Structure 1
């Protein structure tokens, strides 16, 4: 009886995998473990590898094990090459245009979210005018006027700017249009806040200022006679 139990125990033990795997078994376990999705996050990206390779290369140039004066020479050459690449990038591509930064920075125009371009706003204003909706036509055309200045990079109204604040800022850049800019701002303000109804005359006033402003040269660009 005891012998039978011992034989059965030995057979059961033979079926249990060894706690200490051999080389092939250990490699297989490691591959199965690393194949799990959780390890994908820790995998370095191609950009990480490139950045690490560049960093290692530059660090190696300053390694004191580099013999003689060649180490200093290579370090200087590498530094100059990096500076030249940066300068070349600025020369070729240049700095971002002010108008692009302004458009991305100012989605709110006079208290409302507005992502349309000046051309799109002018088209929308003309459509409202044709339909006899003078209130919206006046408002949209003044928004087009302000967005046009923002796109040109000459006046960039911040999100909290009022129409009169914008008119004063634009007047400093276009002094010849100062009075008409204030009249256009007053038309927008009165129509927007129902102080007076929109009319074809007010729309033509704002549209004329917008057209003259688009054709005018900012004060900073004017050449003395």
Structure 2
């Protein structure tokens, strides 16, 4: 048999690597495999390299587990906040004042865009309540959560707050078209809320307790 030249050897090696047992794995699979191999090596060191090596390996493994848990927890919180903004929260990513939301609502109403005007007017209500410290500035708050929290400080308007939250949800998630009447109701509630004094804290606490 004649000797194999350099080019022929390279070609055969490339063909061999392309066969199924040597197919290139994906990056996540490769990283997972190497991580598992690294942890396995540390575990072997913990079991077979004496007390000092075992302690060091155990500490490293524990640190890796804690770091992985922290990373997963952080990612879940990040996804939760983002999901709250997109699917259930009142505000978008841009922070506006109550007056800015009101002006936007009036502009949208003037253009006949009633659904968006209703959304902006409830956002004005929510921001105004936050600016007056009647509700907490909780990220990702839903309209229903706003109504429930505001009702503790403004019990006389609890029913209207609940109706406003329902109107917001209808036009935002329920596919219900906004109307001039619904917007006028929302704007009227906004005006009354700005003129209403909250009940004293002791009275609100007593009412919740009863």
**TM-score, normalised relative to structure 2:** 0.50
Larger radius of gyration: 1
Flag the structure with higher helix content: 2
